[in-house]
Structure 1
Amino acid sequence: MRGYLDWVVTIAYMPVFAGILIAYDIALRAASLLGIAAVERVAVSLQQALVRSYSLLGVSLHAEISSAIEPDESYIFVSNHQSMFDIPLFAWFFPGNNGKYITKKQLGQWIPGVSTNLKLGRHPLIDRQDRDSAVSVIAELGQRVSRGEVSAVIFPEGSRSGDGKLKPFKPAGLGMLLRSAPQAKVVPCCLDNSWQLMKNSFLPIPRGVKLHFSCTAPIPRQQGESIEELIDQIQNCIQKQLDKSRGQGTRTASADG
């Protein structure tokens, strides 16, 4: 019976999901005529509309966000990544921080709403096959963060975790971002259970998933800090948040790759 109901809900949800993306694709293109600020406002609205739509799937959202995160400051948000349902949560909880997602360039090509937002919103799109170009794009984002123009959102596992376990970080991109924005505080964030929404590749989407989202107090930067040690600190912080959300004991992890 549960599988049958999951199919019913999925079939009902998909037109809503597609409708949001198509409607906002049009809105983003119209907003681009008014400039980047208008695009960014519409992009926040798009992502918040997507989060609201999760309720149609019976999703509940449990969040633990540090009050030390200022609503208008530029940060480097570092998070694990489990599914596409993760992404809009940053605009839901941090609409004023102007987060720019570091993502692969393929996502900027063909998805209504999503690709349009990434391109018109000037998110950094990287070519994973061209390391020099990717490093340059990430460094440019770091400079924008340093100037207080935007925040950066990076998922340093490199790909989504299909089972929810934290994967070793790929430190090259995160390291370049940290070096390019040496004054920017780092906010470790943890997402959990969104992997369950994608475990069947939409066929169907299970109902009643409980999403967990937590962000700790920003980590201040230190002159002469070891970037490698900072990355390990961030990864261990996220692992502790993940263990906490699952009621497990903590363990440490090291960056690799």
Structure 2
Amino acid sequence: MLKLLSYPLTSIYYLLFGLTLVIFHPIQWFCFNVFGYKTHKLSVDILQFCLLKCTHVLGTRFSFYNPHTISTESPLIIVANHQSLYDISPIMWYMRKHHTKFISKMELGKGIPSVSYNLRHGGSVLIDRKNSRQSLPAIKAFAQYIEDTKRAAVIFPEGTRSKNGNPKPFQTKGLKLLFKHVPSALVVPISINNSWKMLRYGKFPMGLGTHIKFEVHEPVKVSEFKNNPLDLIAQIETTIKNNISV
């Protein structure tokens, strides 16, 4: 019965989701080209809030548990497991004061209203995961940008999304580059639970009544692991995975 109900509700959700992206695309363009970064960033924040509200049609709830006072005066490297695209807007909204930027695959940089525009113009980096000659210098330049601006880089080191919540091994190359070129950063591990359940039936229909939970763990200074980046990666991977329930 619940799955049957999800068919009409999913249709309504996709309509709202698509309209939100289409409406905010020219708003972003106007804000960026007329007023600059700060106003564009505000439009992106409001977009994320609206996207979260769209999911309420599906009975989706979000809990974002962050007991830590994290300075905005230090660059951040936010590291999280990855279960679905519904991981992204909550991190952008709830961590918005840190100006979150993403390492994203090249394909997302075109064709998606609002999303592609923000990835191209909002400070994120687009990489070709199959071409290290492009991706590694791009990540290096992105890391320098994060270091200089004291903003937040978000990385999902599993590389691809988990379809059942079970985390995949972390890939170390991108993290090591970030640690090397953002030496003053705080690493902020986040465990994400249940967002994969939004797609438990596939893209259509979608899962109903999902409670997506985010837990922000104690930040760690990159400088404390200057000579042992693999130890830092192992520590944050363990922290994140120990707090994932499947």
TM-score, scaled relative to structure 1: 0.90
Distance (whole Å) between structure 1 residues aligned to residue 74 and residue 4 of structure 2? 46
The alpha-carbon deviation at position 223 of structure 1 amounts to 5.9
Distance (whole Å) between structure 1 residues aligned to residue 153 and residue 119 of structure 2? 13
1:1-257 equivalences in 2 (<5 Å):
1-33=1-33, 34-71=35-72, 73-221=74-222, 222=224, 224-243=226-245
Distance (whole Å) between structure 2 residues aligned to residue 115 and residue 4 of structure 1? 33
Moved more, 137-146 or 109-118: 137-146
2:215 maps to a residue whose letter is S
The 1:63/1:32 distance shift into structure 2, 3 A limit, reads: closer
The 1:185/1:176 distance shift into structure 2, 3 A limit, reads: same
Secondary structure in structure 1 of the residue aligned to 2:214: strand
Name the count of aligned residue pairs.
Answer: 244
CA RMSD of aligned residues (A): 1.5
CA deviations 1:169-200 (Å, max 9, x no partner) are 11111111111111101000011111111233
CA deviations 1:191-239 (Å, max 9, x no partner) are 1111111233321011101111111121123163301111101100101
Do the aligned residues in 1 keep the contact of 2:147 with 2:185 (CA within 8 Å)? yes
Secondary structure in structure 2 of the residue aligned to 1:241: coil
Secondary structure in structure 2 of the residue aligned to 1:158: coil
Secondary structure in structure 2 of the residue aligned to 1:152: strand
Distance (whole Å) between structure 1 residues aligned to residue 85 and residue 197 of structure 2? 11
The alpha-carbon deviation at position 37 of structure 1 amounts to 2.2
The alpha-carbon deviation at position 73 of structure 1 amounts to 4.2
**Structure with higher helix content:** 2
Distance (whole Å) between structure 1 residues aligned to residue 118 and residue 73 of structure 2? 21
Q: Give the share of equivalent positions with the same residue, in percent.
A: 30
Distance (whole Å) between structure 1 residues aligned to residue 232 and residue 226 of structure 2? 11
1:133 maps to a residue whose letter is Q
The alpha-carbon deviation at position 93 of structure 1 amounts to 0.9
2:236 maps to a residue whose letter is I
| Structure 1 unaligned residues grouped into runs of 5+ | 247-257
Distance (whole Å) between structure 2 residues aligned to residue 10 and residue 72 of structure 1? 41
The alpha-carbon deviation at position 162 of structure 1 amounts to 0.6
1:40 maps to a residue whose letter is K
The alpha-carbon deviation at position 36 of structure 1 amounts to 2.1
The alpha-carbon deviation at position 70 of structure 1 amounts to 3.0
1:24 maps to a residue whose letter is F
TM-score, scaled relative to structure 2: 0.94
1:15 maps to a residue whose letter is L
